[in-house]
Amino acid sequence: MSIRLDPRRVGTLKQLAADANMRPGDLVRQWVEERIDAVRHGAPSPAATSDLASRMAELSARVAALESMTAPAPAPAAPAEEVVEPAAEAPANVDERPAPRVPRKRVAASPSEGRVALHDEMIAVLSERGPMSAAELAAAVAERGRYTPPRSGKPLDAAMISQRVSNPTYRARFTRSEGRIGLAEGGE
Predicted local distance difference test score (pLDDT) of residue 85: 54
Short-list 111, 85, 87, CA closest to 100? 87
- ∠72-144-148 over CA atoms, to 5°? 15
Delineate the domains of the chain, giving CATH numbers in brackets.
7-106 (no CATH), 118-183 (1.10.10)
What would the pLDDT profile of 95-140 be if each residue is shown by its tens digit? 555 666 655 555 444 455 567 888 888 999 999 989 999 899 989 9
d(CA 39, CA 90): 9
Predicted local distance difference test score (pLDDT) of residue 20: 86
d(CA 90, CA 111): 38
d(CA 183, CA 46): 59
What are the CA-CA distances from residue 23 to residues 6, 14, 28, 155 (Å)? 18, 8, 9, 21
User: Residue 84: which pLDDT band, with cuts at 50, 70 and 90?
Assistant: low
